[in-house]
Amino acid sequence: MKKLTLALTASLVTAFGASVHAADLAAGQEAFQKYTCASCHGADAKTSTLPSYPILAGQHADYLAHSLKAYKRGQAGAPASSNVRKNAVMGAMVQQLSDEDIANISAWLASLPSPLSVSK
Ligand code: HEC
């Protein structure tokens, strides 16, 4: 019985781990480089190449993920609303991102030290 309980627990842990994707910070940083996000937002995500490119470091992860998905909806042709952002540059950039990329990138950005917040 004890063995069965252990085996069940192990398989539940495996199943849970596989179905719930905990955001992967290292993968987020890698994706940020790979998709050339750094070329505008800066490798540290706070030293933008132009003042019109927003600081992303330290922003809330859920806000970042929401923004990226809103650009995707905008690019797909949805009319602008609070859930849809129309922007030619970011609309094109987010096309390459999977939901997992978005979660990882957002979590990594949120973990960075930032001038956006006094507590980091
Ligand atoms: C060519 C320059 C450029 C590149 C490359 C770029 N961005 Fe952006 N990004 C911008 C600009 C400009 C805005 C502001 C757009 C707007 O007004 O909505 C922006 C906005 C954002 C926002 C919304 C920020 C906010 O405060 O609402 C996020 C998140 C973001 N970018 C993430 C990324 C990610 C992730 C990548 C890589 C996949 C990327 N950007 C690549 C220029 C760029």
The pLDDT of residue 32: 98
Give the per-residue pLDDT at 19: 45
The ligand 1 site (C-beta within 6 Å) comprises 35-37, 39-41, 52-54, 56, 64, 67-68, 85, 87, 89-90, 93, 97, 105
Exposure class string for 22-47: b at 16+ Cβ within 10 A, else e? ebebebbbebbeebebbebbbeebbe
Which class does domain 22-111 fall in? Answer: mainly alpha
Q: pLDDT for 72-120, tens place per residue?
A: 999 999 999 999 999 999 999 999 999 999 999 999 999 999 888 665 4
Tell whether the torsion through CA atoms of 62, 66, 68 and 72 is positive or negative. Answer: positive
Select the more confidently predicted residue: 29 or 7.
Answer: 29
Instruction: Indicate the average pLDDT of the chain.
Output: 87
Calpha distance 15→79 (Å, rounded): 39
Read off the pTM. 0.85
